[in-house]
Structure 1
Amino acid sequence: MPDPHAPWNEITAGLWMGGHHWTDPLGNSHSAVVGTEFGLVISLFSRPGHGPDSGIEHLVVEMPDRPLTAEQIRAVQQLSCTAAQAVRTGRTVLVRCHSGYNRSGLVVAQALIELGWETTAAIETIRKKRSPMALNNRIFEEYLTTGLDVAQLLIGLDTPT
């Protein structure tokens, strides 16, 4: 899968999506290091030295780029609500993962849905604004089209009590 061509991209006013690395037009790889560009950074993958600067709110919830547990889907819902509420109050938000394609795409799409967007429009906008490679994890796309509440319940049925 090709690296993204920007460290992060604005999906809608105040809501950004990105990763921890990117490749410039000359093919040079760069680290995506956050300083004070955003008021809230949500990291679903983290790496030391990639910011944000101290004093910037930073929520870290490590998450795999594969099928999620019911608890992980619940975390996606909480992070999405946090991101949406921050955008509503005028804060700038960056949601990031390793490359800025799947895990961040799931949270950003759900944040858009929380902001009143239709699911299909949220997914299409993310692919247009970030990359056509965004949300290439079809399971994440299915979570969104099914609805995270339903996905969480269905996955919870397979979890031993």
Structure 2
Amino acid sequence: MKTRQKGGGTPEPSTPWSEVAPRLWMGGHQWTDTLGQSHAAVVGTEFDLVISMFTRPGHGPEPGVDHLIAEIPDGPLTAEQMQTVQQLAKTAAHAMRRGRTALVRCNAGYNRSGLVVAQTLIELGQPAMTAIQLIRERRSPWALNNQMFEEYLTTGLDVASLLVGLETTT
């Protein structure tokens, strides 16, 4: 059985996407089945809104599906990138309140998508640690393994954005 592992032993997800909260999904671009075979996670029309922090040709969504793309690194973020995360989360929360489904995805479906999904849950009234725990329970224990992203969330993206902005002006 061949299981591809990335990033220092972090396994690929076992599903293309996972429902973290009603109408809010989190995923990536690859997943591995129970036999260890890697598959492309291709989005068709399953979701009303797709938010991508990473894109790959041929991975959808199909025309007619709202698709927002924001290239966000899986590393330290600038104040502007944190503000983008906040805006994406507000957009996802707004879609959910209107009864629409949203998929937030990145490469593996763990960190960048986890950051936006957690911030979406915070926008909807969840405490940061509850949002993080929910993501790890529903998506994977490997989700939000970027400690910096967890710190951004527990500090609050507004405050983290201000602090990062101060660092770049000194």
- Runs of 4+ in structure 1 off by over 3 angstroms are none
The TM-score with structure 1 as length reference comes to 0.99
Residue 57 (structure 1) aligns with: 66
Residue 33 (structure 2) aligns with: 24
State the SS of the aligned residue for 2:51: strand
Q: Is structure 2 residue 113 aligned with structure 1 residue 129?
A: no
Q: 1:44-70, CA deviations, whole angstroms, 9 ceiling, x for partnerless residues?
A: 000010000000000000111000000
State the SS of the aligned residue for 1:25: coil
State the SS of the aligned residue for 1:159: helix
The separation in 2 between residues aligned to 1:19 and 1:5, in whole angstroms, is 11
The TM-score with structure 2 as length reference comes to 0.94
Residue 35 (structure 1) aligns with: 44
Q: Is structure 2 residue 144 aligned with structure 1 residue 144?
A: no
RMSD of aligned residue pairs (Cα, Å): 0.8
Offset at 1:160? 3.5
Q: Is structure 2 residue 13 aligned with structure 1 residue 13?
A: no
The separation in 1 between residues aligned to 2:19 and 2:77, in whole angstroms, is 26
Q: 1:25-82, CA deviations, whole angstroms, 9 ceiling, x for partnerless residues?
A: 0000000000000000000000010000000000000111000000000000000000
The separation in 1 between residues aligned to 2:169 and 2:62, in whole angstroms, is 41
Kindly provide the amino acid, as one letter, of the partner of residue 60 in structure 1: I
The separation in 1 between residues aligned to 2:95 and 2:89, in whole angstroms, is 10
Match of 2:78 among 69, 83, 96: 69
Q: 1:79-123, CA deviations, whole angstroms, 9 ceiling, x for partnerless residues?
A: 000000100100000000000000000000000000011111100
Kindly provide the amino acid, as one letter, of the partner of residue 11 in structure 2: P
State the SS of the aligned residue for 1:158: helix
Aligned-pair identity (%): 68
